[in-house]
Structure 1
Amino acid sequence: MTEFRPSMDEYRQTIKAREEHIRESWVRAMEARIVRTELQKCYRGEGVNHLENCRELAEKYTAMIRDNKIKGYKIIDEE
């Protein structure tokens, strides 16, 4: 049996794709952190009216934490 070994170019492309994936994942996570900080400022600034005045930020943050989780590069099939 011969073992498949990727060429150096394939290896470099894999490493580059992995780094881009991780970078984009972290960027999305940091965007969610920025929205969370703005939401906290809004809550403190608006006081008792925060439920009405900060609704858009809260909905945006909720969507972002659902979609922007940091995910690993490898996908393991668990069947």
Structure 2
Amino acid sequence: MNPSLSALPFSPAQLEDLNQRQRQFLLMLTGSESLSRQEYEKAFNVSDRTAKEDLKKLRELGLIHTQGSARSLRYRLIG
């Protein structure tokens, strides 16, 4: 596992099926209170659809949770 990922409050098993964008996003969240889907799209130069799929997987795995609704939706680390 990438040494910087060891700072995350998750086990290596929880992170092994994530793509590089998802792992990097988790690291970004350690330095920020919350981030939006639009910030994810911009940071990784991905489409709205790709961002939604990536973030959905992180939510389903219990690694992040949402705060707010609709246009004000933000993502935060769990843990």
TM-score by length of 2: 0.29
Q: Which has the higher helix share?
A: 1
The structure, 1 or 2, with the larger RCO (C-alpha pairs under 8 Å, 6+ apart) is 1
Q: Which has the higher strand share?
A: 2
